[in-house]
Amino acid sequence: MAPPAGRIRPGRYLGLFVLIVVVLYLLVFFTGGGKPAPKLGIDLQGGTRVTLTARTPDGSAPSKDSLNQARQIIEARVNGIGVSGTEVVLDGSNIVITVPGEQGDQAKKLGQTAKLGFRKVLDAQQTTVPPAPAAPGADNQTPQQIQQARATRQDPALVTGTGDSLAESPAAKQALTTFACSAQDPLRGNDDPNAPLLACNQDGTEKYLLGPVFLQGTEIDNAVASPPAQNKPGWTVDLTFKSAGRQTWADFTTKNIQQRAAFVLDTQVVSAPTIQSAIVDGNTQISGQFTQQQTKDLADILKYGSLPLSFTSSDATTVSATLGLASLKAGLIAGGVGLALVFVYCLFYYRLLGALTIVSLGLSGVVVYAMLVLLGRWIGFTLDLAGVAGFIIAIGVTADSFVVFFERLKDEIREGRTFRSAVPRGWTRARRTILASDAVMFLASAVLYAIAVGDVQGFAFTLGMSTVLDLVVVFLVTHPLVALAARSKTLSNPRLTGLGGVQHLADERRSARKAAAAAAKEA
């Protein structure tokens, strides 16, 4: 026979909660591998977060396909250089790279465009004028500025019909002479491969008039950093090509012996060697004024592909591991202080019911911890300071549900009911209020998560998750425990439960009603 409305079988509810906890921790310890600990954001464990903003020559929004392709290439670079724990996610037209720990310098290089093209050197001039310093915001050129740079540096009229030496072309000579090198190229990653190009080498000591790209960097099969040898002045990048690229390179080197070929990376000439003989096997070297790390970075970027878009680093945040640890301690202290205040208030005001509140909050924490570990493995959720703030606020939300239930119990007892009979009726009345309150909180969290980005999303996510878990704990733990306490003569003692004052008030009201009734009969 089913129990009357409002009455439950506490053992079944508590058993269901225990089953949920057991299943969660079986998943924690026996799936996913690694430590059974939540993934922490960079503000808690230290690291670097870089936000890359895509830009196109005409200022139009980049396509979703190109953004996804760029994200996949950056992920491949991450895997290739062995940076563990890095996340690459799309955020609108931005790509956000998060690198935990002390490997943050790698993150700032992962978004390099690495648009490599092989161009013939049509003319070159030495320059004694140092490169012009980069102007503020030079990396954030408008579409109009990019188009203007194309018009002045990639004018098809600069190249003659034959594409040979331009020594007899006054216009080309004049364009090359007046062209000034800059420390930061506004055309980076946005040059037209089918047009000629005015460009400089890395240190700005030589400038070039280059022909159209005859071989794309996408034809590279592999790139390896090689240390200096007896016949090598410094570190180099050794390239091997795919079959089509190998044939194109062989044809070009065969026809252009004693001519120069420029290896152009993001509109900058990294090497412009003279072709001494035909290279039919495709084995080629890029040499330049590279350090060991620069050579390794270049080889990795070329090996894992060119990005389909150019990006500017719109935001880069670096947090040291020491500062991250201090932030984590501060968050834990804040949460501990909040819990302690709730505990003191509950014990002082509700006594035994307050102790049940503490037990419920503790069990809620057990479930929350398991969920954080599993969500970190399944969807890559990372706990940051904003998320910790969400959990601290959720303590108050959960405690509010307990208060609503206990105050409903007091209302029932004031009306003359015993503690045992007040529990089912008080729960029925409190349940609607708790559901309405948590529904509003969850809806607010969902809306905030949908319209926000970054850390605010973490706050909204943890607050919404805690709201759902609040319902689980209140329905499966708090209500059954109170029902069990109400059935025990010892635990339902008014002095122990903190309901003595309410029951005393109920007795006074009952006596007053009896006296009024007796007086009415005598009258």
The CATH number covering residue 69 comes to 3.30.70
Residue 312 within any structural domain of the chain: no
pLDDT at 305: 65
H or E segment to which residue 317 belongs? strand 310-319
* pLDDT above 60 (res 3): no
% of the chain surpassing 90 pLDDT: 16
- The residue among 58 and 23 whose pLDDT is bigger is 23
306, 340, 361 - which closes a domain: 306
66, 81, 109 - which closes a domain: 109
The token duo for 195 is 């047009």
- The residue among 227 and 101 whose pLDDT is bigger is 227
Sign of the alpha-carbon torsion through 375, 377, 380, 384: positive
% of the chain surpassing 70 pLDDT: 79
Residue 1 within any structural domain of the chain: no
Angle at 341 between CA 340 and CA 344, to 5 degrees: 85
| Spatial distance between the Cα atoms of 87 and 264, rounded to a whole number of angstroms | 30
* pLDDT above 50 (res 161): no
pLDDT at 1: 42
Residue 279 within any structural domain of the chain: yes
- The residue among 415 and 86 whose pLDDT is bigger is 415
Q: Point out the least confidently predicted range of 237-241, 325-329, 409-413, 482-486.
A: 325-329
pLDDT at 16: 94
**Do residues 364 and 504 share a domain?**
yes
**Do residues 20 and 49 share a domain?**
no
Sign of the alpha-carbon torsion through 71, 76, 79, 80: negative
In this structure, how many other beta carbons lie within 10 angstroms of the beta carbon of residue 174?
A: 11
Residue 314 within any structural domain of the chain: no
* Closest to 53 measured CA to CA, from 418, 381, 315, 351: 315
**Do residues 419 and 389 share a domain?**
yes
At how many degrees (to 10) do helices 385-414 and 455-473 cross? 30
Q: Point out the least confidently predicted range of 37-41, 101-105, 110-114, 512-516.
A: 101-105
Across 252-259, average pLDDT: 91
- The residue among 88 and 252 whose pLDDT is bigger is 252
Q: Point out the least confidently predicted range of 80-84, 350-354, 394-398, 428-432.
A: 80-84
Q: Point out the least confidently predicted range of 366-375, 406-415, 439-448.
A: 406-415
Please write down the long-range contacts of 153-160, taking CB distance under 8 Å and 24 or more positions apart.
153/179, 153/187, 153/191, 153/197, 153/198, 153/199, 154/191, 154/192, 154/195, 154/196, 154/197, 154/198, 155/195, 155/196, 156/195, 156/196, 158/196, 158/198, 158/209, 159/122, 159/196, 159/211, 159/212
pLDDT at 140: 54
The token duo for 72 is 């996949």
**Do residues 346 and 385 share a domain?**
yes
**Do residues 169 and 60 share a domain?**
no
Sequence-distant (≥ 6) Cβ neighbours of residue 522 within 8 angstroms: none
**Do residues 25 and 129 share a domain?**
no
* Integer CA distances (angstroms), 517 to 506, 511, 512, in order: 16, 10, 9
pLDDT at 518: 66
Residue 313 within any structural domain of the chain: no
79, 109, 139 - which closes a domain: 109
The token duo for 257 is 């012996």
| Spatial distance between the Cα atoms of 422 and 6, rounded to a whole number of angstroms | 10
* pLDDT above 70 (res 306): no
pLDDT at 79: 65
Contact between 190 and 117 under an 8 Å Cβ cutoff? The reply is no
452-496 tens-digit pLDDT? 766 788 889 999 999 999 899 999 999 999 899 888 887 777 777
Residue 187 within any structural domain of the chain: yes
**Do residues 253 and 285 share a domain?**
yes
pLDDT at 251: 92
Q: Please state whether beta strands 87-91 and 94-100 pair in parallel, antiparallel, or not at all (unpaired).
A: antiparallel
pLDDT at 105: 62
In this structure, how many other beta carbons lie within 10 angstroms of the beta carbon of residue 383?
A: 25
Residue 2 within any structural domain of the chain: no
pLDDT at 441: 92
At how many degrees (to 10) do helices 385-414 and 321-350 cross? 0
Q: Please state whether beta strands 268-271 and 197-201 pair in parallel, antiparallel, or not at all (unpaired).
A: parallel
* pLDDT above 80 (res 239): yes
pLDDT at 2: 44
Across 263-275, average pLDDT: 84
> How many domains does the chain divide into?
3
Average pLDDT, the chain: 79
The CATH number covering residue 434 comes to 1.20.1640.10
Q: Point out the least confidently predicted range of 2-16, 134-148, 222-236.
A: 134-148
Q: Point out the least confidently predicted range of 200-209, 232-241, 250-259, 305-314.
A: 305-314
| Spatial distance between the Cα atoms of 495 and 499, rounded to a whole number of angstroms | 7
* Structural domain range at position 488: 10-39+320-515
pLDDT at 137: 47
The token duo for 35 is 């430590």
pLDDT at 427: 92
**Do residues 91 and 155 share a domain?**
no
The CATH number covering residue 243 comes to 3.30.1360.200
**Do residues 82 and 140 share a domain?**
no
**Do residues 118 and 105 share a domain?**
no
pLDDT at 367: 93
* pLDDT above 60 (res 261): yes
370-411 tens-digit pLDDT? 999 998 888 878 888 888 888 888 888 888 888 888 888 888
| Spatial distance between the Cα atoms of 104 and 10, rounded to a whole number of angstroms | 52
Q: Point out the least confidently predicted range of 60-64, 148-152, 508-512.
A: 508-512
**Do residues 89 and 158 share a domain?**
no
pLDDT at 523: 62
31-59 tens-digit pLDDT? 876 678 888 877 777 777 788 888 776 67
Residue 333 within any structural domain of the chain: yes
273-285 tens-digit pLDDT? 888 888 888 788 8
Across 319-331, average pLDDT: 70
Contact between 257 and 276 under an 8 Å Cβ cutoff? The reply is yes
pLDDT at 509: 66
**Do residues 385 and 488 share a domain?**
yes
pLDDT at 136: 45
- The pTM (predicted TM-score) of the whole model is 0.58
175-222 tens-digit pLDDT? 888 888 877 777 776 788 888 899 988 788 899 999 899 998 888 888
116-155 tens-digit pLDDT? 889 999 889 888 766 666 554 445 566 677 777 777 787 7
Q: Residue 32 in 3-state DSSP?
A: coil
